[in-house]
Structure 1
Amino acid sequence: MIPRVEIIALGGTIACQPDAAGAGVAPSLTAADLVIAVPALAGRAVVGARDLANLPSTEIDLPLLFALAILIRAFEQDGTEGVVVTQGTDTIEETAYVLDLLHNGRLPVVVTGAMRNPSLPGADGPANLLAAVTCAVDPACRDLGVLVAFDDTIHAARWVQKRDTTSTGAFWSPAPLGWLAEGEVALYARAKRRAGVSVPTDAAVPFVPILKPGISDEPRLIEAAMAAGAAGLVLDLAGGGHVHTDWLAPLSDAAKRVPVVFASRTRGGRVLGGTYRQPGGEIDLVSRGLTGSGDLDALKARLLLMLLLMAGRPDEFALRASLSLPALTS
């Protein structure tokens, strides 16, 4: 029996068309339009098409993602074999990670989009959509959580990052799970997976800003954020997680009141925890009550902290921020 896949469209470049005056493009194509543009989908699955939004991806917010997660659960309960989400690429690394934190099911959820809108030569949306549906129906992709399929590469949502503004190969992760080879899924790895975060439907979205200090940057934003009602702070710091000593007093004060997480602005490698002991080094920050972001960059650390605050479980941050596989035991 041919599998059933639901495509849920949120808008983005993959759904863009030029306006009548030729002054740029904006999302307007529907999920059904995207399906019609890729006849090869019919050979992969019985495809359903649903529009949940038609927005630039910077307009996507947590309430929309909560509604999307509920819809995905309903599709799984109805026997759907896989779900594909199409959206703008600007926030794919964030939305895919949120969905991964919320998704407890077994079915593949695959997020994709396009870097070139359909009016351009070499538009990549159709190929990415076909690749995403191919992943969504492949049994090997079950129990992997949320994936991002882009440029024939399969990424785990918890690792993926957008690293270029225009390249069709903009998405990167330190260890992709696999590739599409001759139109078929070829997996090379499986990412560690944890139970999803259960967020109450009536929980308010907390204010958790990211602060990214540079040279000679004064710590005024810490005080401003706290005065504005921040429920937590995420610091995007230099190197392995280091900050100027002028920031230490206000950070220490903030950490007594709300969770304060520090990440590395390099966006590569794990934030350090026990190497540098100078004032402002990561050992000093931990001693002041701050928490390292583990394997997460600042964008994902913020989202994890927000969901855990909404769930009333911020103490789980350090455990969930460790994405690496456990050490092998003999």
Structure 2
Amino acid sequence: MRVALFALGGTISVTGGEPRLTGEQIVAAVPGLERVGARIDVQDAEAVPSSGLTFVKVLEVVDAASRAVADGATGAVVLQGTDTLEETAFLADLVWPHPQPLVLTGAMRNASLAGADGAANVLAAVRVACAPEARGLGALVVFNDQVHAARWVRKTHSTSTATFVSPNTGPLGHVVEDRVRVLAAPPRLDPLPYRPTPAQLAATRVGVYTAVLDEEDTVVDDAARGCQGLVVAGFGAGHVAGALAPRLGALTDRIPVVLTSRTGSGSVLRATYRSPGSESDLLSRGLIDAGMLDPWKARVLLRLLLAGGAGRDEIAAAFSRWG
């Protein structure tokens, strides 16, 4: 067995001083990794905090992992910072074409701290990358010995080593000693047929407007200015103040506007509430239902679609499938 491992920096590479750990150094410090029985091919992609990652860099790493799998690797592992892990994992999942798993992980406590979790997460991630049970599940986030679908996982705590959870579904499985136990395997969606160029991505901006109590309705215009798309993080099941609804409806004549919930779990509704600013009112004005996708994942999907040249009907169909 062979696993391709890509190191992107983040807390897992931090020692409390400088320089950062390389991928080889991280792998060398994992107790018991040799017992997995896999050769680990390590590549240092770019050592940056995950807040410094870009769509272009993430897609470059996904392409490199794809080539490694096509060349015979059993699976691939990406090490990165946790701040944007839920977004990069979903971006990877949208385009990953292989049955072999692409596993993302990192650490919440760096190697200089008591209870550092990086080594355990790397060991679990490599086990999942090698596991037949993980085939056909797309991109996965493995953290704290839990296996999460990239589509549903969220970072929910600023410091806890149990920060990654899947509020709507729970984890797909667990790593128990040397076993990968997958308890739920959702149907695998086909990857998107859009692979925008760096120039196309650079030319595509998607704004996010978060509904808050008692705010000027003109703020949504600021959020959408200069953007090719907008994600609305609405109250509850997809609601905004009634005065804002006409502005959002007018925006849909110019750009796609996607409706999500700011709550962190659950779905946008479609036809339960009917007052101005309710989900049914907004959808009737042309907003696109994001289903169960949170605002951050909705932004990833919308930007990839727009940069790839998708039209409004294709965008609505994609959100119907992925949300």
Structure-2-length-normalised TM-score: 0.94
Partner deviation per Cα, 1:14-43 (whole Å, 9 max, x = no partner): 1112237xxxxxx71110011110142222
- Is 1:285–2:282 an aligned residue pair? yes
Q: Which SS does the other structure have where 2:46 is aligned?
A: strand
How far apart, in 1, do the equivalents of 2:122 and 2:196 lie? 32
Match of 1:296 among 273, 293, 298: 293
- 1:264 corresponding residue in structure 2: 261
How far apart, in 2, do the equivalents of 1:196 and 1:311 lie? 13
Partner deviation per Cα, 1:104-140 (whole Å, 9 max, x = no partner): 1121100000111100111000000000000000111
- Is 1:181–2:176 an aligned residue pair? yes
- Is 1:11–2:6 an aligned residue pair? no
Gaps of 5+ in 1: 21-26, 326-330
How many residues are paired up?
Answer: 316
- Is 1:142–2:135 an aligned residue pair? yes
RMSD: 1.6
Query: 1:207 touches 1:229 (CA, 8 Å); kept in 2?
Result: yes
- 2:314 corresponding residue in structure 1: 316
How far apart, in 2, do the equivalents of 1:117 and 1:52 lie? 19
Q: Which SS does the other structure have where 2:58 is aligned?
A: helix
Partner deviation per Cα, 1:49-68 (whole Å, 9 max, x = no partner): 11111011101110101111
- 2:158 corresponding residue in structure 1: 165
Percent of paired sites with the same residue? 43
Match of 1:73 among 66, 72, 84: 66
- 1:249 corresponding residue in structure 2: 246
Amino acid of the structure 1 residue aligned with 2:292: D
Which aligned segments of 4 or more residues in structure 1 are displaced greater than 4 angstroms?
Answer: 322-325
- 1:328 corresponding residue in structure 2: none
Shift of 1:245: 1.4
How far apart, in 1, do the equivalents of 2:16 and 2:218 lie? 43
Amino acid of the structure 2 residue aligned with 1:180: V
How far apart, in 1, do the equivalents of 2:163 and 2:223 lie? 32
Q: Which SS does the other structure have where 1:8 is aligned?
A: strand
Q: Which SS does the other structure have where 1:29 is aligned?
A: coil
How far apart, in 1, do the equivalents of 2:68 and 2:41 lie? 11
Gaps of 5+ in 2: none
Match of 1:196 among 183, 191, 196: 191
Query: 1:192 touches 1:324 (CA, 8 Å); kept in 2?
Result: no
Query: 2:268 touches 2:289 (CA, 8 Å); kept in 1?
Result: yes
